[in-house]
């Protein structure tokens, strides 16, 4: 490996004791999978690959099982969430499943009135934009997460030795949705709140951090072998604001699952200038979007950190010649890091031909397999 990694065993005996006897790290050998070996900096038989948003609209089987069922209902129906999570593993032979959910699920389970509007995204009935609104937010009860625990348990039963990656939205992204009341291009309202009402912002971000941490914790305890904290909108921030108003809250969410010892991936879009600050929040693996070559990301991060990424999703529709040439460049750049998990530099576009993904997984596996 090109860099010296802070290599460690997957889990200590003390950490394993925190997990239930039925956890796949104990019973199904997920810790020795190519994915978990790579996430922890150990040599694997091939470069592992999974795709953000691999469980979703690009698959005809997904569209079929979702017919007439609202998005949030799909996430909160355990058998259905499990089926959707497993579909891309079954079809594409990716090296991990990513739990089918949405970043607003924790706030929904806490009692915040939010829905996902087709063609628009998450929308709150009432934006959370004052200190009184924030003080009145309900706390997420542990019992409300039982539906998530059931969905994860159903999923890992089907995945066997293939690991499941848990998922949660990062505090800034969750809080930004809450302040705006829905999607936004520039996230002006949360960025304004940070400076105009810093006490309100800190309370809201702390609430988002607690609920995201609880969400990740429930998934790990139910069977996830790794987790990813997804910061969709952090790229709208400068480094100074990220460090002052966001970093500690992402650190809180990540720290809430630190004791379990499972790999924690931190990914954001448009965050090339924030990578060192994001790493300082406590992640074990850094995801990199398609805008920054992995060898440059490794340089900015000082080496020694496992990287994930970062095939440009646009090239999935460019034809195999261009896609594979680009993939080769990504794999080569990834060799600068001590270990590399192949992924997209953002999510799978819904118009993607599923066969392209299946063939890409096979290409990555075959071209990196150790002889």
Q: Judge whether 66 counts as a catalytic residue.
A: yes
Q: What is the structure's pLDDT at 8?
A: 52
- Does residue 369 carry a pLDDT above 90? yes
Q: Each residue of 344-367: pLDDT tens digit?
A: 999 999 999 999 999 999 999 999
Contact 35, 95 (CB under 8 A): yes
- pTM exceeds 0.85: yes
Q: Is the model's pLDDT at 7 over the cut of 50?
A: no
Share above pLDDT 70 across residues of the chain, in percent, rounded to a whole number: 98
- State the average pLDDT over residues 137-152: 98
| 363 is annotated as an active-site residue | no
Flag whether pLDDT at 328 surpasses 60.
yes
Look at residues 94, 14, 6 and name the one whose alpha carbon lies nearest to residue 42.
Answer: 6
Residue in 95, 102, 284, 289 annotated catalytic: 102
What residues pair up with 123 in beta bridges, in sequence order? 115
Read off φ and ψ for residue 224, nearest 5 degrees: -70, 140
Q: Report the chain's terminal Cα–Cα distance, integer Å.
A: 16
Comparing C-alpha atoms, which of 257, 229, 85 is closest to residue 168?
Answer: 229
pLDDT tens track for 253-275: 999 999 999 999 999 999 999 99
Q: Strands, E, within the chain: which ranges?
A: 97-98, 114-117, 121-124, 164-169, 226-231, 264-268, 285-287, 306-311, 340-344
Q: 55-85: per-residue pLDDT in tens?
A: 988 999 999 999 999 999 999 999 999 999 9
Question: In the numeric block, which tokens belong to residue 316?
Answer: 């999935």
Q: CA torsion 156→19→25→228, rounded to 10°? A: 70
Residue-range domains of the chain with CATH: 13-368 (3.20.20.210)
How far apart are the C-alpha atoms of 20 and 221, rounded to whole Å?
7
> Active-site residue 299, yes or no?
no
pLDDT confidence band for 6 (50 / 70 / 90)? very low
Kind of pairing between the strands at 285-287 and 340-344: unpaired
Does the pLDDT value for residue 251 go beyond 60? yes
Annotated catalytic, 260? no
Catalytic residue among 62, 177, 242, 363: 177
CA dist 341 → 21, 80, 208 (Å): 28, 28, 28
**How far is residue 109's CA from residue 230's CA, in Å, rounded to a whole number?**
19
Query: Two tokens at 321?
Result: 């010649």
Burial of 371 (C-beta count, 10 Å sphere; 0-12/13-18/19+): exposed
* Long-range contacts of 69-72, Cβ-Cβ distance < 8 Å, separation of 24 or more: 70/115, 70/116, 71/102, 71/116, 71/118, 72/102, 72/104, 72/105, 72/108, 72/115, 72/116
DSSP per-residue codes, 302-359: TS-SEEEEEE-GGGGGS-HHHHHHHHHHHHHHHTTSSSEEEEESSPPPTT--HHHHHH
CA distances 91 to 87, 224, 299, 329, 361, Å, are 6, 20, 36, 25, 10
Of the chain, the percentage scoring pLDDT greater than 90 comes to: 92
**Which of 212, 224, 209, 183 lies closest to 81 in space, CA to CA?**
224
73 is catalytic: no
């Amino acid at each position: 490996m090109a860099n010296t990694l802070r290599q460690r065993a997957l889990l200590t005996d003390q950490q394993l004791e925190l997990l239930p006897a039925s956890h796949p790290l104990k019973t199904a050998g997920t810790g020795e999978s190519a994915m978990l070996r790579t996430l922890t900096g150990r040599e694997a038989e091939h470069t592992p690959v999974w795709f953000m948003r691999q469980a979703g609209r690009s698959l005809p089987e997904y569209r079929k099982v979702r017919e007439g069922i609202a998005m949030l209902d799909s996430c909160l129906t355990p058998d259905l969430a499990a089926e959707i999570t497993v579909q891309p593993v079954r079809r594409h032979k990716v090296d991990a499943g990513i739990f089918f959910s949405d970043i607003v699920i924790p706030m929904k389970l806490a009692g915040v009135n939010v829905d996902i509007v087709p063609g628009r995204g998450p929308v709150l009935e009432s934006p959370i934009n004052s200190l009184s609104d924030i003080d009145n937010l309900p706390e997420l009860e542990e019992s409300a997460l039982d539906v998530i625990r059931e969905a994860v348990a159903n999923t890992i039963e089907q995945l066997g030795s293939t690991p499941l990656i848990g998922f949660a939205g990062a505090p800034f992204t969750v809080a930004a949705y809450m302040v705006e009341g829905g999607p936004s291009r520039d996230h002006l309202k949360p960025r304004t709140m940070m400076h105009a009402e810093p006490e309100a912002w800190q309370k809201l971000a702390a609430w988002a951090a607690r609920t995201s941490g609880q969400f990740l914790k429930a998934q790990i305890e139910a069977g996830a072998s790794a987790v990813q904290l997804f910061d969709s909108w952090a790229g709208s921030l400068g480094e100074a604001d990220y460090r002052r108003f966001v970093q500690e809250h992402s650190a809180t969410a990540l720290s809430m699952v630190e004791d379990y010892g499972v790999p924690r991936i931190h990914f954001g879009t448009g965050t090339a200038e924030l990578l060192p600050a994001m790493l300082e929040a406590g992640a074990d693996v850094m995801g990199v979007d398609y805008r920054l070559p992995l060898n440059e990301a490794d340089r900015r991060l000082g080496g020694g950190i496992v990287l994930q990424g970062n095939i440009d999703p646009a090239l999935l529709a460019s034809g195999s010649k261009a896609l594979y040439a680009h993939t080769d460049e990504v794999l080569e750049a990834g060799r600068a890091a001590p270990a590399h998990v192949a992924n997209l530099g953002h999510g799978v576009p819904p118009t993607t031909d599923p066969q392209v993904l299946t063939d890409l997984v096979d290409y990555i596996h075959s071209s990196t397999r150790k002889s």
